Amino acid sequence: MGWIVLVVSGVLEAVWATALGRSMGFSKAGPTVVFAVALVGSMAGLAWAMRTLPTGTAYAVWVGIGASLTVAYAMATGAETVSLLKVLLLLGLISCIVGLKLAH
The pLDDT, as a whole number, for residue 101 is 84
Q: Whole domain around residue 94: which residue ranges?
A: 2-103
Instruction: Identify whether the C-beta of residue 66 lies closer than 8 Å to the C-beta of residue 13.
Output: yes
The per-residue pLDDT of the chain, averaged, comes to: 95
Does residue 103 have a pLDDT over 90? Answer: no
**Whether pLDDT at 21 is above 80:** yes
pLDDT reported for residue 36: 98
Count CA within 13 A, CB hemisphere, residue 35: 16
CA end-to-end distance (rounded Å), the chain: 14
Overall domain count for the chain: 1
Give the pLDDT band of residue 60 (cuts 50, 70, 90): very high
- Torsion sign (Cα): 98, 100, 103, 104: negative
